[in-house]
Amino acid sequence: MSGWVLGRHWRKATNEQKDQFARAFQGLLVRTYAQALLDYSDQSIEFLASRKRDEGDVTVRAEINQGSGPAIPIAYEVSRVDGRWLVHDIAVNGVSLVINYRSSFNQVIQRSGLDGLIKRLKDHNSKQVAS
């Protein structure tokens, strides 16, 4: 997912930058979505029929049923790599996590470079741990 989020910047990054970004991005995702999951209560998740796209690539579809209001559609884009299923994108209500982060991260990279983005993510993650 890290490579997809950075797009062309990933191809230019050093191995150290790739590793640092991947760890910082993972921290951001875990903290962001763990908190979002804690905010949910009394909702149910219904998994719908999956769609096979290519060899080893599958879209896993689900809906969060809120009780009141319409269900929220979620699509997980997963690939089978070395015997493991890896999620490389999540779309909530049709909005791709990869495209959303790519757009905002690209703006930071344009202003501060890839090292600036990595620092910003690490700082954000540190603040989240402290609070």
Is the pTM value of this prediction over 0.85? no
Q: For residues 121 and 24, is the Cβ–Cβ distance under 8 A?
A: yes
pLDDT given at position 39:
72
The number of domains in the chain is 1
CATH number (domain holding residue 66): 3.10.450.710
- pLDDT beneath 70, residues of the chain: 129-131
Domain around 99: 2-130
DSSP element (H, E) containing 6: helix 2-6
**Rounded to whole angstroms, how far apart are CA atoms 118 and 114?**
6
**Rounded to whole angstroms, how far apart are CA atoms 62 and 103?**
25
Q: What is the pLDDT of residues 51-89, one digit of tens each?
A: 998 778 999 999 999 878 899 999 999 999 899 999 989
Alpha carbon of residue 108 to chain centroid: 17
